[in-house]
Amino acid sequence: MTGMLELTSKEMNTVSEILWRLASEKNAYGLRRSLLPQIMDLLHADFAASYVWDAISQTSRDGIVININASAVHQHDIEFQYIDPITPLLSRKTSPTRVCDLMPHSLLSKTRYYQEFLKPNGLRYGINVFFTRNHTDLGELRIWRSDRRPAFSYRETQLLAVLQAYFSQALPHPSLKTNQLTCREREVAGLVSKGLTDKEVARILDISFTTVRTHLTQALRKLECANRTELACRKLD
């Protein structure tokens, strides 16, 4: 499980408890909420947040935050996330990444995001990890320390890397609100998700090719799927 990384007895106990929770809890939000304090303890962090990243809109949702003022969190969600220069870049990383490895502090400190959100709330050193499966974003962790603490080390990125695969397998896919779809959109999406071509769907439903494409476009938009491949990876009720 840990490869060449040696864990202390305390770290091993924490990791074991995290893995047990990942195996026993089935609710995505509940998992992120219950495990965030343990991740903080494992990494000796001062602040933490967990969101679900939306690659299409480049925004975050379903936030869980620890040790950051509620009003600051609200301001982040309605304003500051839209000028965040680091999370969109971090979301492209396939392994845990320290903020300083992506953007030197000398550059980050010049941004409005740092001056008006990170710095006033005491966030100085950050590390992020994203959990995906079949190209679907399942959740992410944003872990921070204050300027009174040392920066995160490479070893601590390894600790998160140990857990990343387990999180990605355990977190369920976001629930799909298929009731947003019309009956015809649901029919088209269901057939396309099984691998049928648009022409085959048109023949089965006895509608035109153009009508299939219209319904499919609307279904992809409502289900927040970027393409047919993402639709095929999701289970439609």
Looking at the chain, the domain(s) classified CATH 3.30.450.40 span 9-170
How crowded is residue 167: how many other Cβ atoms within 10 Å of its Cβ? 25
**Candidate from 26-30, 54-58, 168-172 with smallest mean pLDDT:** 26-30
Please give the share of the chain, as a percent, with pLDDT higher than 90: 64
For domain 9-170, which CATH number applies: 3.30.450.40, 3.40.980.10, 3.40.50.720, 3.40.109.10? 3.30.450.40
Alpha helices for the chain (secondary structure H): 9-24, 28-43, 70-78, 87-90, 99-102, 105-108, 112-113, 154-170, 183-193, 198-205, 209-222, 228-232
Token couple for 128: 């992020």
pLDDT at 16: 94
77: buried, middle or exposed (CB in 10 Å: 19+, 13-18, 0-12)? middle
Residue 150 three-state SS: coil
The residue among 118, 109, 106 whose CA lies nearest residue 81 is 118
pLDDT at 98 over 60: yes
DSSP letter for 174, please. P
Asked if the 178-232 domain carries CATH number 3.40.50.360, the reply is no
pLDDT at 19: 93
pLDDT at 174: 64
Q: What is the pTM of this model?
A: 0.72
Looking at the chain, the domain(s) classified CATH 1.10.10.10 span 178-232
